[in-house]
Amino acid sequence: MLEQQDAPAITLWGAGTTRTLRPIWVAEELDIKYALNPIGPRTGETLTTEYTQLNPKQKIPFFKDKHIQLSESVAICRYLIRRYGNAATMESPQDIDQQAREEEWLNYIYGELDESALYVIRRHGALSQVYGEAPVAIEAAEKYAIRHLKVIERHLTGKQYLLNERFTLSDLFLMTCLDWVHTYDIPMPQTLQEYRKRIASRPAYQKASAINKPG
């Protein structure tokens, strides 16, 4: 277990994947103390009796803070920002319209890029020994990803961030998906390449990426 000083109340489980990076990155952006159990998704560690009692889904990431336990990356990140975020670090938009726009982008990125495209490629590529080979599904998923990258490119043209005000959780999720896109050598529009380079310069991203690496 990696621990920061003063026995933090917050504990995260999971490292080594795009989805485990997200809560680690949020915690680093917020500069809060946490402990990390860097278990992997297919090492057998999520199948132990001890972990299954914590999280019957047997998935990572998982999170505990005093009285609350959460097992989905979106929920974990939202909780951390809402409870510990502020104007000096990272916070949810205060305006209702902006909250709705952030929610729209977050759901779009997670639903269309992560689940419907990139994880399909992972499922039938790197994890084909578990889920089976499906080259047609991979090809279709790549085309689907490219389609939605173009949508995001048009929106980001001339903007620093998705909401064009400040870095929000929707940007954090987009960046993790763009890293995934880069890993799979899927063509990335120039606007998104520049956006990715800009977000990658954030110290919290760099620290979280190093912490999230397996081993």
Per-residue model confidence as pLDDT tens digits over 44-92: 999 999 999 999 999 999 999 988 999 999 999 999 999 999 999 999 8
Q: Letter for the amino acid at 175?
A: M
**How confident is the model at residue 5, as a pLDDT?**
47
- pTM summary value: 0.93
Q: Band of the pLDDT at 2, cuts 50, 70, 90?
A: very low
Average pLDDT (166-177) is 97
Task: Return the higher-pLDDT residue of 204 and 127.
Answer: 204
What residues contact residue 78 under an 8 Å CB cut-off, 6+ apart? 92, 169
Hey, which CATH number is domain 2-90, 3.40.30.10, 3.30.420.40, 1.25.40.10, 3.90.870.10?
Answer: 3.40.30.10
Q: Percentage of the chain surpassing pLDDT 70?
A: 96
**How confident is the model at residue 215, as a pLDDT?**
62
Q: Which two tokens stand for residue 132?
A: 């089976």
Average pLDDT (142-155) is 98
What residues contact residue 59 under an 8 Å CB cut-off, 6+ apart? 41, 46, 71
**How confident is the model at residue 127, as a pLDDT?**
82
**How confident is the model at residue 6, as a pLDDT?**
57
Task: Return the higher-pLDDT residue of 63 and 6.
Answer: 63
Share the mean pLDDT of the chain.
93
Give the count of beta carbons closer than 10 Å to the beta carbon of residue 1: 9
Q: Which of 5-19, 73-87, 165-179 has the lowest mean pLDDT?
A: 5-19
Rg (CA), the chain: 17
Contact 110, 74 (CB under 8 A): yes
CB burial string 143-175: b at 16+ within 10 A, e below: ebbeebbeebbeebeeeebbbeeebbbbbbbbb
Crossing angle for the helix pair 169-183 and 135-156, to the nearest 10 degrees: 140
Q: Where are the domains of the chain?
A: 2-90, 96-202
Cα–Cα dist 43/121, whole Å: 21
* Domain 96-202 part of CATH 2.170.120.40: no
Give the count of beta carbons closer than 10 Å to the beta carbon of residue 101: 17
